[in-house]
Amino acid sequence: MRKTLIVGNWKMHLNTMQASILLHRLQERIRIHRDIEVVLAPSMLVLQPLSLQIDRRKFRLAAQNAYHKDMGAFTGEVSFTMLRDLVHYAIIGHSERRLIFGETLTDISEKVAAAVRNGITPILCVGETKTDRLAKHTKRVLHDQVVTALKNLTSEDVEEIVIAYEPIWAISTFGGELATPNLVKEAMDYIRHQISELYGKKTAEKVRVLYGGSVDDQIARGYMEIDGCDGVLVGGASTSYHKFSGIVDAAYRMQRELGEET
Ligand code: PGA
């Protein structure tokens, strides 16, 4: 069974003090759960102090980005090698990285390879723009993003990775239009189908696929209930104690109900 994953991407919000206070409050509220993993992705600056404060039975840490070279004269960058003892996951190819910082498909595949080489699990973000969708190019865009990002990996590597389907027009930064669960399911099925074509059905069944795009405590469950959806990647709502813990509560409730059914 694939574990449910709830990831909070704090983006460029919360200084060290604010981050520490939010973690402290979440830590009191969130329980240890065998089937649910809660991951926090704070800014690079805050990773180190949070790693000392964090209860590792309740949370895992993720980097929001890193550079693909392991070390060298790359002013201003931090490598996956430097992060390997600090984080379990790294978000790679987020649409803000692609659109604001101009990351290309090649950059992203190099980052995915560097993360895996350093024992860090990539959370690979993929998703189409509104223009792509209107032009009926969604599948082509998802195909290119998935295939190029994974191209340096073996099927054992791919089994471990996480893919977040984040239609760009649904992300709060770029419009925040709500995607219907049907549309999300169709895209997620297509992503898993691509992985199955490339690496086989067994691998595709192990990959966790998340949804991201304006998810908050009110609507998270609707996405988490989609067949084949393994959790959510939360941006804006993840820096709100009430909204983020509400999302984790929704995941607990779903697991409890599932347990009661079986
Ligand atoms: P949002 O961000 O939840 O604020 O839309 C999601 C993301 O950027 O991953």
The answer to the question of residue 133 being in a domain is yes
Q: For the domain that residue 223 is a member of, what is the CATH number?
A: 3.20.20.70
Summarised one tens digit per residue, pLDDT across range 164-205 is 999 999 999 898 999 999 999 999 999 999 999 999 999 999
Quote the pLDDT of residue 262: 67
Q: 172: CA distance to ligand 1 center in Å?
A: 6
The answer to the question of residue 164 being in a domain is yes
The answer to the question of residue 262 being in a domain is no
The answer to the question of residue 143 being in a domain is yes
The answer to the question of residue 155 being in a domain is yes
Map tokens 């925040």 to a residue: 176
Can you read off the two tokens belonging to residue 164? 């977040």
Summarised one tens digit per residue, pLDDT across range 75-108 is 999 999 999 999 999 999 999 999 999 999 999 9
The answer to the question of residue 229 being in a domain is yes
Structural domain for 243, as ranges: 4-256
The answer to the question of residue 261 being in a domain is no
With a pLDDT cut of 70, the percent of the chain lying above it is 100
Contact 231 CB / ligand 1 (< 6 Å): no
Contact 216 CB / ligand 1 (< 6 Å): no
Can you read off the two tokens belonging to residue 152? 């340096």
Among 78, 28, 6, residue whose Cα is nearest residue 48: 78
Contact 166 CB / ligand 1 (< 6 Å): yes
Mean pLDDT of 51-57: 96
> Cβ distance 195 to 160 under 8 Å?
no
The answer to the question of residue 74 being in a domain is yes
Distance, in Å, from the CA atom of 187 to the CA atom of 201, rounded to the nearest integer, reads: 17
Of all protein residues, whose CA lies closest to atom 8 belonging to ligand 1? 235
Can you read off the two tokens belonging to residue 47? 């990773």
Mean pLDDT of 114-131: 98
Can you read off the two tokens belonging to residue 229? 């959806």
Identify the sign of the CA torsion 28, 65, 124, 69. negative
H or E stretch including 109?
Answer: helix 105-117
Of all protein residues, whose CA lies closest to atom 2 belonging to ligand 1? 235
Confidence of residue 43 (pLDDT cuts 50, 70, 90): very high
The whole model's pTM is what?
A: 0.97
For the chain, what is the domain count? 1
Confidence of residue 259 (pLDDT cuts 50, 70, 90): confident
Backbone angles phi, psi at 77, to 5 degrees: -100, 160
